[in-house]
Structure 1
């Protein structure tokens, strides 16, 4: 992370505290990052920052990412793009031209944050690297998100989500004990990079507001995956053991996925807190009159080594599954929760849409033509809402993901570029 001791211009200070209705009102973010940073910038946009999606002429590659609305494959049908770019404005610029780069420099002059994901050195080659941008705006924060960071032996390597998950170590734990590694669903390596980048960017903006100093935040997707691996690395450091894939198995008797009446649930009766969870679970089974429960009261179940044996796993699975098959996921979840036992349903997409908890929290918001007149809707219906609740500065969906270059004219006008000059940029292919 580069840190320069220069004074910050008033235009680049964070002014979110001036507006009670949006936490980040007054913050300006330039997002030219594609999939590696679109969600990072979305988190700012959904809290009221003015996020300008700076796309290449022809559109950002994330517009082509699956899944798509059924039967469509156009630039407005990617559900991935639609979700990750809410509340943003779009301008299309060719940054490899001097005219396009000059427009971008004008935007940087009054921005707080630039999020980019070009290969190391690409922005500098354009004359738009951090060193050049801080000359324009000493308080600018530039967050660079790449597969392997700006320096090091892998810095110039390319890497999709699956590469980050593999070289970050997560895929070594994904899959069944006797299968090849399996990458988890949903671009989780990319998601990790976005989340780490958002937190680091926000911290840098706060620091800039206090110190008047801009920063270059260097985010490696691989390192983010490593940091997100919970305690897998510490297992080797502390116990000398290497965690193995355990999909479809109990890691210890009482902890794992079990079939029930309408699907599966995950139970953690052993492991952390087993001194409480195990007893609560055994008492629950006894209250239900489940055959074989008395075998789970033996003193040997207090021995962690015994819990790891195949005999123990088979015994527990036989007793608990007999019980679980009599109940639905919802019943097991609610009754287990009442007994302070860690138990959770393995949800399908349909389960999520009708989740009582999410309904109570009003998580899904309605996306309809009436609610967003003039928008190019990828779909109508429930749309994921806020992942948090703020009382004084609430999350708000005020704008759906923009069409390519939808706001080019208004953004150029805000920079003082006259209509004739705008047309010249568009006709020359610099803007769209």
Structure 2
């Protein structure tokens, strides 16, 4: 036992000596809620990520919920999570002095992530063409609701608007209610993930021989990212002329849908794909558990897909399956169903996720130090493992302008120049 523990400690110390996957890469992140997860993914892999904030701080600092319900820019939990591991510099980019400092910063960067409205960066002289003139190898990723051009490009938008105009909001919710958006700014997160993948591909494209191949401008449309996540809704219409609709709260067909159990709910898919095999296994499961009446579900009528989608079939199946499910916990139903190779899974609440033994075994959840309060906040870690360049827990999210002095000094600003910028209200 001691040898195992000592070996584990030694491995952990050895991992700390290895370079991170993106060590040496410098990223400037001046994005808002739509892009800071993109910057976080680079930071998590070891890149130096510098968050450029306005003088009053990133807009994400005003996003709730807030730690201990303390409504303060330094207590925003979304900001704490999305910006762990980054450095903060506050600059007024609408002032020439701030723009000059920003250009000096970008000259030393590999990637710039921004989410300003189309045309804003050009008005500042900080558009891709202007920056590429002084930083020809720069990759600049712009994340906007509808892209840099087109009739919608300057429309006002937020996450729910992108969900709606991308088509996904229509599928969320219940048949007898207006559309409902899932919590968590899913459109923004989708765009940030597409942006990080595209940015990494562009950066990798610069490592070919001979030498680097120059920079590029990546134009990410949040709306288009949502359309990419429409599952098979478009194919349903294209192939069958069927418009998918909201189905939450009702069974798609007998044997497929959400069912109550002893301590929550499960999702079962006994009908549908390979329905004959799954259906028979599910019926036999109920019979073995003492539901002898379930034998009637093996009659020929239940092999007809057209019958399975009828209200009569849904009602008859539920009358037998629901009492069976309500006798058991979702963990029992999941594990026993898996043993029988039946597609069934528990519907997890947040508490279930935190206590999940698989996630606990892999030490998925860790903690982030919250500097203003000194508290440790439970947060997700990395959903991947690299054998040669291990992931490391990030440093705390920065205080507003915490690294301004350090960053400005690093790009050549002397003490007097830094003081002048601060006194002029260009930095803080």
User: Which TM-score band (shorter chain)?
Assistant: over 0.9
CA offsets 1:325-347 (integer angstroms, 9 cap, x no match): 01111111111222222222211
For 1:316, the equivalent position in structure 2 comes to 317
For 2:165, the equivalent position in structure 1 comes to 167
**What secondary structure, in the 3-state scheme, does the structure 1 residue paired with 2:74 have?**
coil
- Structure 1 alignment gaps of length 5 or more: 1-18, 370-374
Q: 1:317/1:21 Cα in 2 relative to 1: closer, same or farther (>3 Å)?
A: farther
- CA distance in 1 between partners of 2:220 and 2:293 (Å): 53
For 1:58, the equivalent position in structure 2 comes to 56
Q: 1:127/1:368 Cα in 2 relative to 1: closer, same or farther (>3 Å)?
A: closer
Q: Is the 8 A contact 1:141 1:217 kept in 2?
A: yes
Q: Is the 8 A contact 2:18 2:390 kept in 1?
A: no
Q: Does 1:290 align with 2:288?
A: no
CA offsets 1:127-179 (integer angstroms, 9 cap, x no match): 11011111111111111101111111111111111101111111111111111
Runs of 4+ in 1 over 4 A off after TM superposition: none
Q: Is the 8 A contact 2:33 2:188 kept in 1?
A: yes
1:368 offset after TM fit, Å? Answer: 5.3
CA offsets 1:12-66 (integer angstroms, 9 cap, x no match): xxxxxxx943111111111001101000110000000000000011101011111
For 1:412, the equivalent position in structure 2 comes to 408
- Structure 2 alignment gaps of length 5 or more: 1-16
For 1:27, the equivalent position in structure 2 comes to 25
Alignment: residue pair count: 409
Q: Does 1:402 align with 2:419?
A: no
User: What's the TM-score, normalizing by structure 2?
Assistant: 0.92
Instruction: Choose 335-344 or 22-31, whichever is displaced more.
Output: 335-344
- CA distance in 2 between partners of 1:43 and 1:377 (Å): 25
Q: Is the 8 A contact 1:38 1:85 kept in 2?
A: yes
- CA distance in 2 between partners of 1:318 and 1:166 (Å): 37
CA offsets 1:300-333 (integer angstroms, 9 cap, x no match): 3232222211111112222211111011111111
- CA distance in 1 between partners of 2:188 and 2:250 (Å): 27
- CA distance in 2 between partners of 1:342 and 1:85 (Å): 38
Q: 1:378/1:66 Cα in 2 relative to 1: closer, same or farther (>3 Å)?
A: farther
For 1:135, the equivalent position in structure 2 comes to 133
- CA distance in 2 between partners of 1:109 and 1:264 (Å): 54
Give matches, 1:332-411, under 5 Å: 332-367=333-368, 375-377=371-373, 379-411=375-407
CA offsets 1:50-91 (integer angstroms, 9 cap, x no match): 000000111010111111113301112111111111110000
Superposition RMSD in Å: 1.5
**What secondary structure, in the 3-state scheme, does the structure 1 residue paired with 2:73 have?**
coil
1:378 offset after TM fit, Å? Answer: 7.3
User: What's the TM-score, normalizing by structure 1?
Assistant: 0.91
